[in-house]
């Protein structure tokens, strides 16, 4: 059955608050390494962005939550994004956010029992959940 996803709204009014929390821009491999280091220090990646021109990522981490399973993915095109959401939902994960930046969708998936707590953290940063139908 087809799945439709309306991406998350990201408030421009809270951009200054988010900007203070972001890491520097880095490659995907560098972000994976940083995520591992941050997890060991009790911090969890809760949001990230992809810059198409730089081909780099930056992230926001938080000590307020530790996911008991999570995945992040960056896809080009609406169909690939919706296929990815469908795949992860079938694996038992819900999208915490789906953000379109340029031609790429950034997504982070968490277990349903942690979705509400994680959404509250993102809401404080002006990031709304996606609508999945």
Q: What is the pLDDT of residues 44-81, one digit of tens each?
A: 999 999 999 999 999 999 999 999 999 999 999 999 99
Please give the average per-residue pLDDT across 113-124, as a whole number: 98
Query: Dihedral, CA atoms, 67, 69, 75, 78, nearest 10 degrees?
Result: -90
Query: Dihedral, CA atoms, 85, 87, 90, 94, nearest 10 degrees?
Result: -30
- pTM tops 0.85, yes or no: yes
Task: Quote the number of domains for the chain.
Answer: 1
pLDDT band with cut points at 50, 70 and 90 for residue 2: confident
Residue 24 φ/ψ, nearest 5 degrees: -70, 165
CA distance 68 to 118: 12
Please give the average per-residue pLDDT across 3-7, as a whole number: 95
Instruction: Report how far Cα 81 is from the mean position of its chain's Cα atoms.
Output: 13
**Which residues span the domain enclosing 37?**
5-132
């Amino acid at each position: 059955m087809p799945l439709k996803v309306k991406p998350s709204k990201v408030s421009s009014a809270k951009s200054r608050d988010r900007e203070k929390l972001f890491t520097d821009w880095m490659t995907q491999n560098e972000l994976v390494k940083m995520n591992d280091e941050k997890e060991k220090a009790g911090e969890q990646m809760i949001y990230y962005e992809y810059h198409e021109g730089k081909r780099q990522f930056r992230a926001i981490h938080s000590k307020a939550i530790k996911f008991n399973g999570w995945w992040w993915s960056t896809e080009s095109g609406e169909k690939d994004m919706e296929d990815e959401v469908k795949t992860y939902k079938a694996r038992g994960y819900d999208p915490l956010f789906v953000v379109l930046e340029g031609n790429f969708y950034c997504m982070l998936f968490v277990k349903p029992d942690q979705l509400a707590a994680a959404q509250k953290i993102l809401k404080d940063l002006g990031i709304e959940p996606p609508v999945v139908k």
